[in-house]
Amino acid sequence: MQVLTMFWAMGQAREALVERMKMEIKKREDNRKAFGEDLLSRLLNDQESRLPNEVVIDFVLFLVHAGHHTSARALAFVVKHLTENPEALLKLRVINVPLIWIRSICYVNNSVPLTFSFSAGRTRRHSEEP
């Protein structure tokens, strides 16, 4: 009977991800034009400095891992700060109340105008502050 540890489980998960990445790389190599310009496609299509598949896989797994920890820590600090500073939570709620209507907009038709109007309003407001 094998004793399962976190380290063993992590190794199994990594092996599963590596196999999935290998299948994705093969699929993209078989049909290069179908996948656009995402990071993986760029790494695979760079003919001048093409990295071995193992390096590409390690790089992508590194980015996933790094992004997960960065996001998790950032969210933890935000929750901690808002919990310890009720006045900051109140300010955040006041700022976000006018944005509730955004859920009802049609993304395709309104995302760009909304982005420009929101950023213009923020720029104007920040330029007026001392």
In 3D, which of 57, 66, 59, 69 has the Cα closest to residue 22? 57
To which H or E segment does residue 80 belong? helix 53-84
Q: Give CA separation, 92 vs 21, 80, 98, 115, in Å.
A: 40, 14, 11, 19
Task: Compute the 3-state secondary structure of the chain and give helix, strand, coil in percent, each to the nearest 5.
Answer: 85, 0, 15
Burial class of residue 10 in the structure, from the number of CB atoms within 10 Å of its CB (0-12 exposed, 13-18 middle, 19+ buried): exposed
Query: What is the model's pLDDT at position 119?
Result: 47
Residue 107 lies in a domain: no
Domain that holds residue 39: 6-84
Residue 24 lies in a domain: yes
Residue 112 lies in a domain: no
Size of the chain in residues: 130
Residue 57 lies in a domain: yes
Residue 48 lies in a domain: yes
Residue 92 lies in a domain: no
Q: Structural domain tally of the chain? A: 1
Residue 98 lies in a domain: no
- Predicted confidence pLDDT, tens digits, the chain (130 residues): 566 888 888 888 889 999 999 999 998 888 877 777 788 888 888 777 888 999 999 988 888 888 777 888 888 898 899 889 989 888 888 887 766 666 665 655 555 554 555 444 444 444 454 4
Are 17 and 61 in contact by the 8 Å Cβ rule? The answer is yes
Residue 32 lies in a domain: yes
